[in-house]
């Protein structure tokens, strides 16, 4: 593992332990080149996934990009980080076990909305406002009105 601070090629693992939900291994590392310490996470990857964008462009699936999108929606919401991690792990497992190696971005967006709806309604509306490209306040009213009808 390359050191993110100095680029030294050979770092040492000082401590390894599973994460709380046993979905990854957390490793504390030490760089003999600069003395820095940092943490890495090792996760199981069942298959290489490719995201097919609406315009037809393809890019490798990026778990961190999914996490960032969800975190933006959840900013300043009282949701435990462990719940968000479990949600992301569940979504990634679902995508990997779908049997498809190419996933339309629309599928990931819909899956994210469904997951956020169960986790936090405000985050759900925030995500929907970007995903569904709300253009004016009326779009929010219409969307929230539908939510109220469902409750």
For residue 66, report the phi and psi dihedrals to the nearest 5 degrees.
-60, -45
**So what's the pLDDT on residue 27?**
96
**So what's the pLDDT on residue 151?**
67
**So what's the pLDDT on residue 145?**
86
* Residue numbers of the chain with a pLDDT score lower than 50: none
How is residue 8 written in tokens?
């030294």
**So what's the pLDDT on residue 46?**
65
Task: Give Cα separations from 74 to 27, 62, 81 (angstroms).
Answer: 27, 19, 10
């Amino acid at each position: 593992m390359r050191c993110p601070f100095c680029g030294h090629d050979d770092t040492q693992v000082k401590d390894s332990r599973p994460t709380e939900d046993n979905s990854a291994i957390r490793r504390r590392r030490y760089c003999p080149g600069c003395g820095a310490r940092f943490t890495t996470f090792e996760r199981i990857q069942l298959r290489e996934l490719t995201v097919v964008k609406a315009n037809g462009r393809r890019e490798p699936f990026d778990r961190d990009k999914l996490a960032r999108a969800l975190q933006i929606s959840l900013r300043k919401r009282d949701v435990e980080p462990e719940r968000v991690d479990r949600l992301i792990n569940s979504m990634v497992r679902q995508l990997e076990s779908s049997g498809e190696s190419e996933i339309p971005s629309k599928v990931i967006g819909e899956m994210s909305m469904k997951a956020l709806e169960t986790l936090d309604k405000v985050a759900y509306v925030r995500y929907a406002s970007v995903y569904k490209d709300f253009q004016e306040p009326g779009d929010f009213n219409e969307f929230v009105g539908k939510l109220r009808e469902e409750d």
